[in-house]
Amino acid sequence: MRIIFLILIVIVFFPILSCSKSKKTAEQSQQSQKTADVYTCPMHPQIKKDSPGQCPICGMTLVKVETTHTEAQGGEAPDGHAAFSLSEAKRQMIGVKLGVVSKKPLFKSIHVAGRLAFDPELYAAQNEYIEAVKQVESVKNSPVADVRQSSERMLDAAKLRLKILGLSDVQIKNLAAGDFNDARLLLKTGGSSWVYAEVFEMDLPLVHPGLSAEISARFLGGQVVAGKVVSIDRIINPATRTAKARILVNDVRSLLRPESYVDVNILAPLGEQITVPFDAVLDTGKQAWVFVADNQGKFEPRLVTIKFHVGSEAALASGVKEGEQIVTSANFLIDSESRLKGVLMSADATGADKKAAPSCPEGQHWDGAMKMCM
């Protein structure tokens, strides 16, 4: 009978005790979660407290650092940085704005100085080439081999001179077939003219025949004249480190006179690129990074590799993917938060090393960086 009574007591009170224990465990977990918050001094990150207050060293108000969030692991972080989270209220207070990583074709505007062509040398070289073509044709049936060979050598020399002066093989071929010289090299004729643009050596790989160009000048009163790149010199001017790009302009006004100076803008395609706004990238010269954001207020510093800058955009070779969100404003404030979190994590790691440091012989101490007694 006594045994039955004890069993009943266990059946009645065990659920109550279990519930009480579970509730106590939950309360302890919540309390542990609350005490996970750490307050530190922005100027003295070694000061860490579990409640708000002031720094005992400088008197600054302690800043709350949330340590319960899991760190993002999406990519390599720059030196001294760490991922962190911000509340929506704080994001609005410091003016955080986000952009999206995009993949799109980019174009570079190559701005160079130009002039309306007045090129008697090239005009004369074209005439020489045309006469050489006629001479070869007239002696092709000559029984004297030396005569034929001499004419061919003159033609080759005239052709080489045209190449040195910047004409392409197609232009030279058309010149021979058309049996005419280009009077536009001397005067503006037939509503069209040549513009010579001096392209710097570093931009030459981007410039090729067929690209569109825009011609402008103060004396044009704001009008922009369209043109097209036809050829580029093969030889670089050693004094200016430029090569001449010949641009054919069809819509020429009477204000355009030979040797007039003009501004030339050549639009060069750079292909499809992963791009971000220029303001999103922080660059020290040794490392460049952006801050990738998610929808929960988490910010991850991510190292990136810059390919080139175009206007207000930067093309990246690595570090981010199309569609990811990145910080485009308040970057320096976000960077400060990331650095502060990095310092705190480094201090925690150093403290853990010190706690786990083994004992050393008398007169030596444990060096956490070298992992040995010294």
pLDDT of residue 275 exceeding 90, the answer is yes
Note whether residue 86 is domain-resident: yes
pLDDT the model gives residue 252: 64
The DSSP code sequence of 183-211 is GGGTS-BTTBEEEEEEEEGGGGGG--TT-
CA distance 67 to 78: 20
- For residue 333, is it within any domain? yes
Say if 312 falls within a structural domain.
yes
Higher pLDDT among residues 257 and 22, named by residue? 257
Residue 13 domain-assigned (yes or no) = no
Per-residue pLDDT tens over the stretch 45-74:
667 788 888 888 777 777 776 543 334 345
pLDDT for position 254: 57
Q: Are residues 98 and 123 in the same domain?
A: no
| Strands annotated E in the chain | 38-40, 48-49, 63-65, 84-85, 97-100, 102-116, 193-200, 212-216, 225-232, 242-249, 261-277, 282-283, 288-293, 298-303, 305-310, 313-318, 325-329, 366-367, 372-373
Higher pLDDT, 257 or 97: 97
Surface-to-core class of residue 25, CB atoms within 10 Å of its CB (0-12 exposed, 13-18 middle, 19+ buried): exposed
Residue 57 maps to which CATH number?
Answer: 2.40.420.20
Comparing 32 with 248, which gets the higher pLDDT? 248
According to DSSP, the β-strands at 261-277 and 313-318 are antiparallel
Helix orientation angle between 145-164 and 169-178, rounded to the nearest 10 degrees: 130
Report the distance separating Cα 84 and Cα 337, nearest Å: 8
Regarding whether 345 and 286 lie in a shared domain, the answer is yes
Alpha-carbon gap, residue 201 to 4, rounded angstroms: 101
CB proximity list for 164: less than 8 A, separation 6 or greater: 234, 235
> Are 169 and 129 in the same domain?
yes
- pLDDT at residue 369 greater than cutoff 80: no
145 vs 353, more confident: 145
Least confident of 59-73, 96-110, 122-136, 284-298: 59-73
Which one-letter DSSP state was computed for residue 220?
A: G
How many residues appear in the chain?
374
Taken in order 14, 18, 19, 24, the sign of the CA dihedral is positive
Residue 322 domain flag: yes
DSSP string, 159-187: HHHHHHTT--HHHHHHHHHHT---GGGTS
Contact 248, 237 (CB under 8 A): no
pLDDT at 118: 78
Residue type, 171: Q
How much of the chain is helix, strand and coil, in % rounded to 5?
35, 30, 35
Quickly state the pLDDT bin for 24 (edges 50, 70, 90).
Answer: very low
Residue 285 vs residue 178, higher pLDDT: 285
Task: Identify whether 128 is part of a domain.
Answer: yes
**Do 280 and 329 reside in the same domain of the chain?**
yes
- pLDDT beyond 50 at 9: no
Neighbouring residues of 140: CB distance < 8 A, sequence distance ≥ 6: 148
Going by their DSSP bridges, the two strands 282-283 and 193-200 should be labelled as unpaired
Domain that holds residue 168: 119-185
Q: If you average pLDDT over every residue of the chain, what do you get? A: 79
Question: Does residue 343 sit in the same domain as residue 313?
Answer: yes
| Last residue in a domain, options 153, 185, 217 | 185
Per the structure, the count of domains in the chain is: 2
Convert the pLDDT of each residue in 255-271 to its tens digit.
667 788 999 999 999 99
Residue 368 has pLDDT above 80, yes or no: no
Round to whole Å and give the CA distance between 183 and 169: 20
